[in-house]
Amino acid sequence: MNINDDRLMDGYQLTVVLEPDTSNPSLAIKMSPYLENYPMPFLCGDGTRVIGATCQSCRSRESSNGQNVTTGFFYVEGFPIYMNYSINTAMSNNDTGSSVMLNGIEGYKRADYIYDKKMSLIWDLNGNVSLDSVRSSLNAGLRHQVVFKDRYGYIRSYPVDLFFAFHDDSPFHILTQAIVLPSLFFDPLRIFQLLIEKFQDTDVIRKQNFAINFKTNQYNTFHKIFATGTVSDGTGDADYKTDFLRVFAY
């Protein structure tokens, strides 16, 4: 683990603060200099970097064939790249329905990653936290974020969609928010494999403003997670037991 994975495990949220280089023609932005930021509610730590995904609601458009296409962004803390993606919502998870443009971050004058600790721990698989904390947060109308280690060892932090806490003290379970992302978010190390195949030298990647367009499969962020650590990820694979699970309220 590194400090960024530790932050994810402690319930930190991540926002990227950007200052585009509006004089750079590759960005095609004819505007006065400005700042922007993107909250990234879907986070994945690979032990070295943190990959954050924005919600798709940031932009939506209709493709040339009349199908609805949603778009969004990945930003990578720990490596100078970002990705904008589009999802063909008519495609199934097994189809190659995602288009990804992988870009060098050099098109920005500034890209800062801001961690914010605004959440309170209400459940820890390995800690001394009672169901009373869970019930109190639900009764207070709070929102929730779940952080867990997946079957491949990635640390994931996802917003909770539905929370089921039972009166008979049986283990609660939660459903994460379900959005469709490119499968690179499922296996983020593939991002860096693609870059190495293209450039061979990571120093070149860090110094260039580049763009690579490719197609990929889709990944659904839906998970069903039990207080006991059992996780169903909706892929059709067998359920698994995680050894790290925390739930936060805010």
pLDDT digits (tens, 9 = 90+) for 201-248: 555 555 566 778 888 889 999 999 999 999 999 777 899 999 999 999
**Stronger pLDDT, 98 or 95, i.e. the higher one:** 98
Give the span between the Cα atoms of 149 and 208, in whole angstroms: 33
Average pLDDT of every residue of the chain: 85
Percent of the chain with pLDDT over 70: 84
CA-wise closest residue to 120 among 112, 129, 111: 129
Q: Where are the domains of the chain?
A: 3-115+181-220, 118-178+222-249
Burial label for 22, CB within 10 Å (0-12, 13-18, 19+), is middle
In sign, the C-alpha dihedral spanning 90, 95, 99, 102 is positive
**Stronger pLDDT, 224 or 79, i.e. the higher one:** 224
Q: Is the pTM of this model over 0.95?
A: no
Across residues 84-96, what is the average pLDDT? 64
Instruction: Tell whether the model's pLDDT for residue 93 goes beyond 50.
Output: no
* Class level of CATH domain 118-178+222-249: mainly beta
**Stronger pLDDT, 108 or 50, i.e. the higher one:** 50
